[in-house]
Every structure is written in structure tokens, then in C-alpha cells.
Structure 1
Amino acid sequence: MFSACPGRSVPGPYRALFADPTFRRLMPVFALSDLGDGMTVVAVAWLAFALGPEGGQGALAGIAVAAYVLPGALGALVLGRWMRRLPAQRLLVTDSALRAALLGAVPLAHATGVLTPAVYVGLLGASSLLHAWGRAGKHALFAPLLADDQRLAAHSVLSTSLWGATIAGPALAGVFAGVMSPAWIIGLDAATFAVLALQAGRTELPPSAAAPPGTGGTRHGLGILRRQPELLGLLVVTWVFNFAFGPVEVALPLFVSGDLQAGPGLLGAYWAAFGSGAVIGALALGAAGRLPLWPTMLAIIAGHGIGMLPFAITHSALPSLIGFAFAGLVYGPFSALSFTLLQNRAPADSLTTVLAARSAILLTASPLGAALGGLFLDRTGAPVMLVGCGALMILIVPAGAAAQKFHGVRRRRHRPSPARAERASRAA
């Protein structure tokens, strides 16, 4: 896939994309880092279960999952004055180096016997402080290099790498968890970020790609989002969608260990099934071309919610495995569609600040959902939590459709008729 001369068997959009040498050079290390993050999907929650007190494992798992993501929103808002001056490449390298150092401290603290729940949560939280800026740099890095018709394919490949890692990463973590502590799996993730920081720092970019991202801060990015109703509506719907998915990351490990009486291997199989479906969905989008935004987004959310409903069946893993794979299939195109819309609508010199502002908002959704889910998990049970997440996703669809219709009607009411516009032009 990363060969220097993409063959004619590769679809046209991807063939042109992989002809770019910078994309070919960086994409393998992105995939390696995604693989490390895929392993932490299992390792972070599983290590929290091992460290948590009896009867409070769910709460600690929710806090750990939140700590692994939520401080990135704070970093996007508080550190914007300094981070916005850095080019996209430097943002990516700085975030990767920080995560490599702090996540690498987790296995060291475990080996020396000082890995308490507080130390664990603190290291996870500090490692995510710059992650909103790192993600913004990753997606903004290629914007000056690619033509407009290549961006959807590029984001589809990035999404495919992420979901491909969701196949292999949890499966590897499930195997490794049988022979080593989850703390060392997090250490492997730290090593992948170290490789990413080294390779991204060594890669020479054209001047247009290495230029600073602009003068606006995160508040400037938020202002751009507020002024464009389409982007603002997409942001709100995505936030609620991510919030509804947050408890899944906490409830799924407990569903596997408690209701199914299985180990981390089956947990890895669930995430692998989800990732397999997402890879197919993401690649299909890149080859399909343009799709109507709002109908596609709402259909994705509804399909994802439907895929969560089989978790009500607790005597066998097969129905929920199939449902989770279907949820991944429909979710696969979501990220690529969102990032492509942002790149097409946001001003080029403010792209990283807009992406960082978007990440700052969205990074609060899933962790808050995970933290709340962890608090209720010990009282309600994993199957109820998982099915409830699916039901909430399904409820988002009519609410989003109604809001979109209301906005369309309001926009038409405020749009002047042709006759009125002509009279106003003559009067002027």
C-alpha cells in the first residue's frame, strides 16, 4: 500500500494520493502510532480495573479513560497563545514527544511499585495535554500539499489507518495481556509516539506546508465555527454522538469480564470487529466521492445506535459482536466527512486553530460520557449501559433532523425574495 509507485489496481483518488512522497513517508509512522493507540483501548481500562478498589473499578476506569483524553481540551483553550504560533509539523512533534515521555513513565512506575491510581490518572492526564494541537497538526499538515479533490481520499486513508489499528491493536493487547501487565502495553504505545516524533521531525516539508498556521487562537477558531451554521450544527451533533459513545469504552470491558465471564482476548475481539467494519466503511467513502452531508451523518448515527442494541443479549457474545461490527461499518466514514467539510469551509490560514478549537470541544464529550458511565456502571450493569448508549444515539437522529429543518425554514424566511431584492437594488 505504501509502495513508491501505486499500481493501477488502486482506485484513482488513492493512486494520486500515494504519488505524493511526503504522504508516503509519514503515513507508515501514523499507522504505527495508531496501532499503539489501538492497544491502549484495551490496556487503559484493563489496568484501571487492576488498580481500582473492590466495587469501584468501574468508576476508576471511567476516570482513567476521561483523563486519557479530557485534558487535551484544556490544553487547546489555555495554551493557544503559544501553540498557535507553531507550524503544523512542530505541533505534531511536540505532542508526540510529550506522550512518549509520560506514557513511557507508566510501566516504569509499575516496575518500581509506585503506580497508584492517582499516579496513573495523573500520567494519563498530563500525556493528553497537547493532544488537541497534535491532532490539528496531523490533519493540517497535508492541506497545502494536496489538491481539493484529494482531501477526502487523504482523510479516508487516515481514518482507515485508525480503524485498521482498532482491528490489530486490541487483538494484540488481548494477547499481550495474557503474558504481561497492561502497564507495559501502554509503554509500547509510548514507543510508537517516540518513533512518530522522530520521523515527523526529520521529514522536510515544502515551505507552504511548514508555514505557521496563522495568527488566530482557539477563540478565533471558535468564532469561525460560530459564524458558519453548517459547521456549528455538525459540531453539536458530533459532540452529542461522542458523548453517547463515551460509556461504551468503560462498559464494554465490564460486559466482557462480568456478563460473559471472559478475558481481555474477547475484549480485543470486540474492538477488532468494530475496527474491521470501520475500515470497510472508511475506504468505501474515499472511493465513492461526494455524499449529502446531513442525511449521511444522521444515517451513520442511527446505524451506530442500532448496532448497540444486541448487547441486551448476554448469554452469548456472537449477537453483540455482529452488532458492534455493524456499528463500526456505518461509523467508518464519519471522521473523513467531518474533516473534509472543515477543510473546505475554514480559511486556510486559520485551519489549525479551527481544528484545535473543534478538538477542544469534542475532546470533552467522550470523556464526560465515560466518567458518567463509570459512576452509574456499578449500579446499572454493563448491558443496560451499552443498550442505553445505542438508544441515545437513535434519539439524536430525529432531534438533529428537526433542528436542520428548522434552520432551513428560518434561513428561507430571512432570505429576501427576488422582487424585494430588485427593489432594494434600484433604491440603492
Structure 2
Amino acid sequence: MLTREFRKLWLGQAISAVGSSVTIIALPLTAALTLAATPEQMGILVAAGWLPYLLFALLAGAWSDRLPRKPILIATDLARAAVLVTIPFAAFAGVLRIEHVLAAAFVAGSMTVVFRSAYAPFIPVLVGRDALVEANAKLALTDSVARVVGPSLGGLLVQLITAPLAILVDALSFVVSAIAVASVRVRETPPPRAERRSIWIEIADGLRVMLANSFTRSVTVIGLLFNATITIGDAVFILYLTRGLGLDALLIGVVYMVGGIASVAGATLVQGTTARFGIGPSMVGSILLLTLAGLLLLAASGPPVVAAAYLAVRGAIVSFSAAVYNVTSNSIWQAAIPDRLLGRVSGASQVFGLGLIPISALAGGWLGAHVGLWNTIAISVGGQFLAFLYVAASPLRRIRTTGDLPALTGV
């Protein structure tokens, strides 16, 4: 059963998700349109936002297992607000540079790593393990609704007040989220200081548990393969839309909005889907749909409105599939791992699953400059088809319920 305290967190995250969905469009458009960024600079921008996962996720995960998580969530929300608000202020003053945007992306990304290390373990404290699927489905539904509202709002704001000023919405949303988290009444029981071991030993525990279990290992490898291949294309995605296909900010917002609507459907139907087909088959099927959707991105052509239609259908399939996969994998991850290990195991998974994104982003930017934007997208899509071969052979397809999960050893 979802508690009143969870609903407070849910409300704050809903508002924050809308703001972040605005920034998904506004930040790259700030670089591409306001600052005329090159493909290499766009790749560096993506890398700057994801590099903190490679650098800090292990430490952040182990650290969050030692401390109360609520203060971490509040502090990182406020820090992200303070960082992002510098972009519209600098733009208003006429001193915004690409270096400023890159630095802001890195610092905000670092705060997001710390936030996420505490956020996932905080949810079981509020709702209990028997309500995890429902809680994660509600959070995913909210995030999906934000993907409907945020991009369309972001596209409109970029058209009306420019991309840098639109980012102010996200900064304000983080302040609201911090206030919502501060209102949550919860009793956390971090381990006593006397029971702490070296943080490096605790990090090693997270790595060992993550690698020893076939389910957590498979999910991590899938994240590594698909995040790496998708990011090659994402690095030049906005440039491809604006310079290759001729879409303006409003059409881009509509494309993202359609994806958000499909994401709502995915989050709404995930419980029924997993009940009918089983957890593992649902996850494998969702990844197959996501992979096939890349073909629509390659096929997009013609007038901007026609190209946007291709992209909207592709976005709908990708967002629906991602919602099903993420809700299912997050819920089982939280159910399979003890609370005291969730932070460090999640941190280990983030390093492996997300650690190659900065390198892939730089590679995507380089490829975009040297082989062309469409060819870079094609390389990304081809890589996803190769990555799916691992998914098809993974042990995920045999897992129908949580009872089929292999036991964690040595915990």
C-alpha cells in the first residue's frame, strides 16, 4: 500500500520531472542554436552529463548506504537548481559560452549521480517491498506524463524566450522537489558508525554481489551494451533533427511529447504485461521493440512535418518499450537486493551500465563530424541490433516471477 509520505515524494518528483523534460530539449538546443555548437561539442556535452557516473557512482552508492538518504536528496536537488540557474543568468547577461554549458552539465550530472544513489534505496523505506512494483509504476507514470508536458512546454518556451531561459523552469522544479522531500516524515536507520568498514571494502561488496547474481549481471550488461550504442546516435540526435531534417524547436517538442504519451501507456500497462507474459519475456520483448524502432529514425525524410511523423512513431515505440523495461527491472532489482546493499550495488551497476556513455558520446560527436550525421545514426542502430543478440541469449527470458530469481550468494 502506498503511504502518504510516498505521495509527498511522488508529487515532488512529478514537478521535477516536468522541469527535467524541459531541459532535455532546452540544454542541447542552447548549445546547437544559441551557441552554434559543432558535432564534437555536442558529443562533449552529452559526455559531460554522463561522465560523473563513471567517476563517482561507486563512491556515491557506498556513501549513501552509510547515511540517511533524505538529507542527500534535499541537498542534491538544491545543488542542481543552483547550477542550472547560472545558464539563463549568463545568457541574460550576454556572457554565456559553450564552456559554461559543459561545466554546468558536468556538475549537475554529478549531483544527479549522488541523488540517484540515495533515491532508489529510499523508496523501499517508504512503501515496503510488497508495494515496489506499484510504487515504481506510479513514479514511471508520472515521469511519462512529464515527458508529454515537458517537451511540448520546452519547445514552446524555446520558441518564445530562447533555450537558455527555458532552463530556468528546471531549476525552479528542483527547488520544489527539495521542499517536497523535506516534508516527508520517515525514520531511517543507517548502520552505526562502529559497524562501518573501509569504504573500499563496501564498494567491493557491491561489485561482488552485482556480478555474482545472473539477473543483476544480465541487466547491467544489457545497460552497458544499449547505453553505449544508443548514445553514439544521441550525441548528434538534435543536430540531425535541426540540420539534417529541418525540424524547429516546436516540432522537436511534439516528437518528444508523442513519446511521452506512449511512455504513459507503457507505465500503465506494465503490471498487466508482466502478469500475462512474465517478467523476463516482457523485458526481452520491450528491448526488441526498442531496437526495431531505430529503423524508423533511419527512414525519416521529406518535409519537416513528414520527417517528424516518422520520428514520433519511433519515439512512441521507444518510450513504451523503455517504460516497460525500466519499471520491471527497477522493481526486481529493489526486491532482490537487501536494503543495506542497495546503494553500493546500484552504484556498481551504474558504473558498468552507464560508464561507457561518455566515451560513446565523444565517439558519436567525432563520427558526426567525419562520416556524417545520418551515417552516425546508422552505426548506432546497427550496434543496437548486435547488442540484442546478447539479450536473446540472456537468462532473463526464463524469469517469469520474482520466485524465479536466483538467490544472492554470500550476502
> Which TM class, normalised by the smaller chain length?
0.7 to 0.9
Distance 1:321 1:383 in 2: 18
User: Identity over the aligned pairs, expressed in percent?
Assistant: 23
TM-score, length basis structure 1: 0.83
TM-score (norm 2): 0.86
Give the C-alpha shift of residue 288 in structure 1: 4.2
Q: CA deviation at 1:21?
A: 0.5
Structure 2: 5+ residue stretches without partners: 400-411
**Alignment of 1:263 onto 2:248:** yes
In the alignment, the residues of structure 2 paired with residue 196 and residue 293 of structure 1 have an alpha-carbon distance, to the nearest angstrom, of 31
Give the counterpart of 1:253 among 228, 238, 261. Answer: 238
> Within the alignment, does 1:48 sit opposite 2:31 as a pair?
yes
- 1:80 deviates by 5.6
Q: In the alignment, is residue 358 of structure 1 matched against residue 349 of structure 2?
A: yes
Residues 100-130 of structure 1, C-alpha deviations (whole Å, 9 max, x = no match): 1111111122223332221221121112213
Change (3 A) 1:326 1:213: farther
Q: Tell me by how many angstroms 1:239 deviates.
A: 1.6
What aligned pairs does 1:201-216 form with structure 2 within 5 A after superposition? 201-205=182-186, 207=187, 210-212=188-190, 215=196
Larger Rg: 1
Residues 116-131 of structure 1 correspond to what in structure 2 (within 5 A)?
116-131=97-112
Alignment of 1:36-75 (within 5 A): 36-50=19-33, 52=35, 57-75=38-56
Query: Structure 1's 392 and 295: CA in aligned 2 closer, same or farther, altered over 3 A?
Result: farther
* Structure 1 residue 400 corresponds to structure 2 residue 391: yes
Q: C-alpha deviations, 1:314-335, integer Å up to 9, x for none?
A: 1132223212212222221111
Whether 1:28 aligns to 2:6 is: no
State the alpha-carbon separation in 1 of the partners of residues 60 and 316 from structure 2. Answer: 38
Structure 1 residues 170 and 369: CA distance shift in structure 2, 3 A: farther
Contact 2:273 2:282 (8 Å CA) reproduced: no
Per-residue displacement from partner, 1:196-226 (whole Å, max 9, x unpaired)? 1122123211x2xx22278564433222101
AA at the equivalent of 2:15: L
Q: 1:221 aligns with which of 185, 206, 219?
A: 206
Task: Report if aligned partners of 1:170, 1:269 keep a CA contact under 8 Å in 2.
Answer: yes
The equivalent position to 1:295 in structure 2, one of 268, 277, 281, is: 281
Q: Which residue of 1 aligns with 2:132?
A: 151
1:182-197 correspondence runs (5 A): 182-197=163-178
Cα–Cα, structure 1 residues 348 and 77, in superposed 2: closer, same or farther, change >3 Å?
closer
CA RMSD of aligned residues (A): 2.5
- CA–CA distance in structure 2, aligned partners of residues 149 and 235 of structure 1: 24
Partners of 1:282 and 1:327 in 2: CA distance: 13
**Given that residues 66 and 371 in structure 1 are in contact (C-alpha distance below 8 angstroms), is that contact kept between their aligned partners in structure 2?**
yes
> Number of aligned pairs?
385
1:61–1:325: structure 2 CA closer, same or farther, 3 Å change rule?
A: same
Shift of 1:83: 4.5
Distance 1:338 1:127, change over 3 A: same
Amino acid at match of 2:41: L
- The alpha-carbon distance between structure 1 residues 293 and 81, as it changes in their structure 2 partners (threshold 3 A), is closer
Q: CA deviation at 1:403?
A: 5.0
For residue 221 of structure 2, the aligned residue among 236, 242, 252 is 236
Distance, in Å, in 1 between the alignment partners of 2:155 and 2:344 is 37
Q: Which has the higher contact order (CA 8 A, sep 6+)?
A: 2
User: Is the alpha carbon distance of 1:393 and 1:301 closer, same or farther for their aligned partners in structure 2, counting shifts above 3 Å?
Assistant: farther
The one-letter code of the counterpart of 2:333 is: L
Rounded to whole Å, the distance in 2 between the matches of 1:278 and 1:381 is 30
How do residues 356-395 of structure 1 correspond to structure 2 at under 5 angstroms? Answer: 356-395=347-386
Structure 1: runs of 5+ lacking an equivalent = 1-15, 409-428
Post-superposition CA distance 1:60-100 (Å, at most 9, x none)? 12211221232143222345665442222122112211111
Q: Does the 8 Å contact 2:61/2:348 carry over to 1? A: no
